[in-house]
Amino acid sequence: MKAYSTASVAVLGDLIHSEYDSTYTTDKGVLLAGSGSAREIPKFSVVAKVNLGSVTVTPGAVVGTGNGSIGTVTADSGAPAGVYQVVIIEPASDGGTFQVFRPTGELDGTGTIGAAYNGTINFTLADGATDFTAGARIPVTVSYAAGSGKVVRWDPTAVNGAQTVVGISLFDAEAPDGVDDEITWLARGPVIVRKESIVFHDGATTDQKNAAYAALEALGIQCRQTG
């Protein structure tokens, strides 16, 4: 892995201890316009993406054995976009149980075939003439209208997508009132960052910070105390 030092890289070395490939680990996108004033994101802030516009939720075909199906499926407000997986874990004749995994791979919850499941996505998985076997799965795609996915500071209390960590801003960024701008963020690993340099919103609790560290680790961004 490439190692950084504060002497060799004046800005990034304050955050990044070492990374595999900077061309892979970073993303560049749109910083959501300010509303009533400029939207400012200090460097090294935990960031998220808001979901704008109408949501479309589409179940796919069964992968594996079984011909049960998902009927009407909805998504909660702010549900992260991407492909969710409904995976059978305990098959049974005319029934069984399943788990739902979010696009990040995080467990969303556990449900029962034939009963309503209420999580980040909501549906009833009906049994079919051919029972499911363990490991059979159904992908469910959540997508938003064009213009979605603009970056804001992470807010664990939000319900519009801003509650889902997508990375760490690498530089100070500012979007004027009513005008989108550009932002670059550390989006994935393998990379090791200096835990003490990560910036949170005012009032962030220890539990919220720990949740953010865990979400970053899930992206391959390891948070280590180095100072």
pLDDT tens across 32-56, in order?
A: 999 999 999 999 999 999 887 778 9
User: What pTM does this model have?
Assistant: 0.64
The mean per-residue pLDDT over the stretch 47-66 comes to: 91
What was the pLDDT predicted at 147?
A: 62
Q: Which two tokens stand for residue 200?
A: 């949170």
Peptide bond into 190 cis (omega under 30): yes
Q: Which two tokens stand for residue 109?
A: 């919850």
Least confident of 52-56, 65-69, 112-116, 155-159: 52-56
Q: With 90 as the cut, is the pLDDT of residue 4 above it?
A: no
What was the pLDDT predicted at 10?
A: 47
pLDDT category at 68 given cuts 50, 70, 90 is: very high
Q: Tens of pLDDT along 165-195?
A: 999 999 999 999 999 999 999 999 999 999 9
- Per the CB < 8 A criterion, the answer to whether 69 and 124 are in contact is no
Q: With 90 as the cut, is the pLDDT of residue 126 above it?
A: yes
Partners of 213 in the β-ladder: none
Domains of the chain: 2-50+147-224 (2.40.300.10), 55-144 (no CATH)
User: Phi and psi dihedrals of 117, rounded to 5?
Assistant: -110, 130
